[in-house]
């Protein structure tokens, strides 16, 4: 594993709620409320959670699409929440994003050549021939035909458009790509193709991914380390093996139980397990959150395994360790 490329420290993204005649701020929606994790060079780090958990907001704040309320995003040890530092470090060149909706993220009025070339034009001074050669190389990398440069986004399938989105993201030779639900709108066979060429590109260029998804099955295929997010905070983080073999937070167990199983022989058993976990979550979830409904702080329960545990669970672990 390479050295650390980016560190997120106590990241918060709060949206004000205004009401009354004077439109004053009366409260905040805490979409991201104190998140901490780091990503190494060449690593795929999985960020998992349901819709509304804050995972996409976290990713967008890292690339600068969402404004950070407080906290630090350290790139090469420098806080890039400050615009001057972003420019000095070429951060906007080194950190790119793949969006969930491939159609809305590609300008329908532009040809594929101009869509892929846009980030190149922003950061490099290439001649027209050099630029076209670079675009052709990128299309070849993601398995698209060379004549795609003359076409428009609506002329391609969802999987092909996502490949074009990946080509645009790697155009500037980035160090980190934030992939926000990159395959959720695709069918299973196309998902596998997209994920496999993302892996190939990662190995070829040593790119790190922040892979954001609600699907733990997909994340297991891609990521070495995982963070589970709920209500704007992390409830559990650790290695892929630790999370899948020993999930400790009730929310993590719920997500894992929802992974579709193709094993017909154990389908009834898996359904029974899923129903039991869901019942436990509905009846016992209040114990896992503080009086304001917020996730507890993370605590280290084993090497590189952190869980947001209530006090009684911590005491239980301590007794078992004696």
Model confidence over 165-185: pLDDT tens digits? 989 999 999 999 999 988 876
pLDDT digits (tens, 9 = 90+) for 297-321: 999 988 889 999 887 777 677 666 6
| Stretch 103-110: mean pLDDT | 87
In this prediction, residue 262 carries a pLDDT of: 65
In this prediction, residue 55 carries a pLDDT of: 95
Provide φ and ψ at 294, rounded to 5°: -90, 155
Of the candidate ranges 138-152, 180-194, 203-217, the one whose mean pLDDT is the lowest: 180-194
Nearest to 48 by CA among 199, 202, 256: 256
Residue 322 has pLDDT above 60, yes or no: no
Q: Taking every pair of C-alpha atoms in the chain, what is the biggest distance, in angstroms?
A: 69
Do 239 and 224 form a contact (C-beta atoms < 8 A)? Answer: yes
In this prediction, residue 298 carries a pLDDT of: 93
Mode of pairing for the β-strands spanning 225-230 and 70-75: unpaired
Tokens of 230: 């709920």
Provide φ and ψ at 111, rounded to 5°: -75, 160
User: Mean pLDDT score of the chain, rounded to an integer?
Assistant: 89
In this prediction, residue 303 carries a pLDDT of: 84
Provide φ and ψ at 182, rounded to 5°: -70, -15
Query: What's the domain range around 118?
Result: 4-321
Question: Can you tell me the distance from the alpha carbon of 31 to that of 12, in angstroms, rounded to the nearest whole number?
Answer: 8
Of the candidate ranges 33-37, 269-273, 279-283, the one whose mean pLDDT is the lowest: 269-273
| Stretch 64-77: mean pLDDT | 94
In this prediction, residue 237 carries a pLDDT of: 95
In this prediction, residue 219 carries a pLDDT of: 87
Number of separate domains in the chain: 1
Residue 91 has pLDDT above 70, yes or no: yes
Greater model confidence, 282 or 39: 39
Residue carrying structure tokens 């994790």 = 37
In this prediction, residue 263 carries a pLDDT of: 67
In this prediction, residue 182 carries a pLDDT of: 86
Among left, alpha and beta (phi > 0; psi -120 to 50; other), residue 77 is left
Residue 256 has pLDDT above 70, yes or no: yes
CATH number, domain with residue 32: 3.40.50.300
Residue 38 has pLDDT above 90, yes or no: yes
In this prediction, residue 308 carries a pLDDT of: 94
pLDDT digits (tens, 9 = 90+) for 236-253: 999 999 999 999 999 999
Nearest to 201 by CA among 2, 7, 38, 44: 44
Question: Can you tell me the distance from the alpha carbon of 75 to that of 8, in angstroms, rounded to the nearest whole number?
Answer: 9
pTM: 0.90
């Amino acid at each position: 594993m390479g050295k650390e490329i980016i560190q997120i420290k106590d990241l918060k993204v709060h949206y004000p709620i205004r009401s009354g005649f004077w439109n004053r701020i009366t409260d905040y929606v805490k979409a991201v409320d104190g998140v901490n994790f780091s990503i190494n060079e060449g690593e795929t780090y999985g960020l998992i959670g349901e819709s509304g958990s804050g995972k996409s907001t976290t990713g967008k704040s890292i690339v600068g699409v969402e404004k950070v309320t407080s906290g630090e995003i350290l790139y090469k040890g420098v806080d890039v929440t400050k615009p001057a530092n972003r420019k000095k470090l070429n951060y906007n060149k080194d950190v790119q994003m793949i969006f969930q909706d491939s159609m809305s993220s590609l300008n329908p009025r532009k040809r594929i050549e101009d869509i892929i070339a846009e980030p190149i034009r922003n950061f490099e001074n290439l001649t027209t021939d050099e630029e076209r050669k670079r675009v052709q190389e990128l299309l070849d990398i993601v398995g698209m035909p060379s004549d795609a440069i003359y076409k428009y986004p609506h002329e391609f399938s969802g999987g092909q458009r996502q490949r074009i989105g990946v080509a645009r993201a790697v155009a500037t030779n980035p160090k980190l790509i934030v992939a926000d639900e990159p395959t959720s709108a695709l069918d299973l066979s196309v998902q596998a193709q997209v994920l496999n060429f993302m892996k190939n590109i990662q190995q070829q260029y040593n790119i790190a991914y922040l892979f954001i998804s609600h699907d733990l099955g997909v994340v297991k295929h891609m990521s070495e380390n995982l963070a589970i997010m709920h209500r704007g905070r992390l409830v559990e983080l650790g290695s892929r093996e630790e999370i899948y073999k020993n999930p400790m937070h009730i929310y993590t167990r719920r997500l894992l139980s929802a992974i579709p199983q193709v094993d017909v022989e154990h389908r009834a058993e898996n359904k029974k397990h899923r129903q039991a976990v869901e019942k436990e979550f509905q009846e016992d979830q209040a114990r896992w959150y503080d009086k304001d409904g917020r996730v507890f702080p993370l605590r280290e329960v084993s090497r590189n395994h952190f869980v947001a545990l209530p006090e009684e669970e911590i005491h239980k672990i301590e007794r078992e360790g004696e």
